Amino acid sequence: MSWINLSALWKILVFGLVAGAGLPALFAGGLYALSLGPHRARAATAGADGGDDSDVLVGGSIAGIVIAALCFLIVLAAIGWSIYEIYQIGHPAPAKK
Amino acid sequence: MRSSAGGGSAVLWHGLTSKVVIPAVLSPVIAGLVAAIGTWSLYRITRSLTQAARGHGFRIGQIGSACLVSLAHGTNDAQKTMGVITLALIANGTLAKGSNAPIWVIVSCAIAISLGTYIGGWRVIRTLGKGLVEIAAPQGMAAESASAAVILLSSAFGYSLSTTHVATGSIIGTGLGKKGAEVRWNVAGRMATAWVFTLPCSGLVGAAAYALAHAVNGTLGVIVILIILAALAGLIFWRSRSNKVDHNNVNAEWTGTVTPAEPEPAAAAS
């Protein structure tokens, strides 16, 4: 009789890190790539000019936009796949007769 | 799952501990760790963006992560509500053993949970998003992603846990993962104290309701309990209206309590 299921625990930790921290980080990477280019909103550094408070997300670099789209697509695909997997757990395929 | 009726001997303590208590204690810690790492990396990756652009981007992301928390909540917490009703129906012989939750149980639980969310969310929102840690959009997204991932994974392993506990762990994690952010541990302590009390208290209320139904006998007893519970719920709701927290003052300065000091003048002044 075991009180803690260690194998479930480390799986929750590892997959939790991949999905719960990795996917948002990929989303953040997408935001960064999207911001690259000539129209980029620049963070104001202390005591220096050139900073603005623009909330523009698209910097205008084609490569940046492509990479950003790729990042966002991977995030969406991962979410879609996870929901499909969860659905499978909740609704197992009927056993073959 | 605790079985109803039959006294202390009918409670399966091992199942309660290994499937409910231990996951309830560990899941907020795991979620907090995930959220802290997530928060740190989100700020690190987007450090060259302006604060406004970062806020804009992560607010869009939060729509998705908030949806996932709701989904996760549905796969875990919300199942308990239906599970208890369905088990009672099976125990009563109304449903056959091994049957699924009837559609009316699913629909009424869904409506009740949605209505509760619609009516009573503001105080909890304020405590978690303003009182515990003053969160910004990137932290919100990190906390929601961590919560959703941990809850969905726990659902997959059959652990019953609480969205509230996990979300609180995540929010503390976002406070630890962001430089300069403050975690108000006294607020966290007060919440933890409340959690320790809710488990035995809900047991006592359940036992009292059962005793009353048994004493008054049958349908009449159930109706009496329903009236008492509805009256108590109404009283709590009425009390909450006298110092209301809503979308106007939910983000007002935190002065140590969930109800903003002087709602109307303070909101007008700032």
Q: Which contiguous run of DSSP H or E holds residue B206?
A: helix B185-216
In chain B, residues 43-72 whose CB comes closer than 8 Å to chain A:
45-58, 61, 64-65, 68, 71
With residue B2 as reference, give the H or E element that holds it. none
Q: Which residue has the higher pLDDT, B17 or B106?
A: B106
Amino acid letter, residue B209: A
Nearest to B259 by CA among B270, B248, B249: B249
**Of residues A23, A32, A44, nearest to B145 (C-beta):** A23
Contact B81, B109 (CB under 8 A): yes
Q: How confident is the model at residue A42 (pLDDT cuts 50, 70, 90)?
A: low
Q: For residue A41, how far is the Cα from the chain centroid?
A: 22
Tens of pLDDT along B77-110?
Answer: 888 888 888 888 888 888 887 778 888 988 998 8
- Locate A44 and state its tokens: 């104001």
Which of A80, A66, A76, A64 has its CA nearest to residue B61? A76
Nearest in space to B245 (alpha carbons), one of B144, B119, B132, B150: B119
Tell me the two tokens of residue B258: 């969930």
For residues B192 and B195, give the distance between their C-alpha atoms in angstroms, rounded to a whole number.
Answer: 5
Select from A2, A36, A52, A55 the residue whose CB has the most chain B CBs within 10 Å, as the one to mutate to test that interface.
Answer: A55
Average pLDDT across chain B, whole number: 84
ipTM computed for the complex:
0.82
pLDDT at B3 over 70: no
The alpha-carbon gap from A32 to the nearest alpha carbon of chain B, in Å, equals: 6
- What's the N-to-C CA distance of chain A in angstroms? 35
Residue B217 has pLDDT above 70, yes or no: yes
Query: Quick one: pLDDT at residue A97?
Result: 46
Coil, strand or helix: which one is B250? coil
Mean pLDDT of B122-130: 86
The region of weakest confidence among A65-74, A84-93, B30-39 is A84-93
Q: Can you tell me the distance from the alpha carbon of B166 to that of B196, in angstroms, rounded to the nearest whole number?
A: 15
* Chain B contact present for A14, CB below 8 A: no
For residue A19, the chain B residues in CB contact (below 8 A) are 145, 149, 152-153
If you search the block for the tokens 């009563």, which residue do you land on? Answer: B92
HEC profile of chain A: CCCCCHHHHHHHHHHHHHHHHHHHHHHHHHHHHHHCCCCCCCCCCCCCCCCCCCCCCCCCCHHHHHHHHHHHHHHHHHHHHHHHHHHHHHCCCCCCC
- CB–CB of B207/B172 below 8 Å? no
pLDDT at A51: 53
Q: A1-11 pLDDT, tens per residue? A: 566 777 788 88
DSSP strands (E only) in chain B: none
CB contact under 8 A, B147 and A89: no
Give the pair of three-digit tokens for residue B11: 């409670």
In this prediction, residues B32-48 reach a mean pLDDT of 94
- Specify the range with the lowest mean pLDDT, choosing from B25-34, B146-155, B167-176, B208-217: B208-217
By CB atoms closer than 10 A (0-12, 13-18, 19+), residue B218 is: exposed
Closest CA to A56 of A25, A31, A29, A73: A31
User: What pLDDT, on a 0 to 100 scale, did the predictor assign at position A44?
Assistant: 47
In the predicted structure, residue B194 carries a pLDDT above the cut 80: yes
Work out the minimum CA distance from A50 to partner chain B, whole angstroms: 12
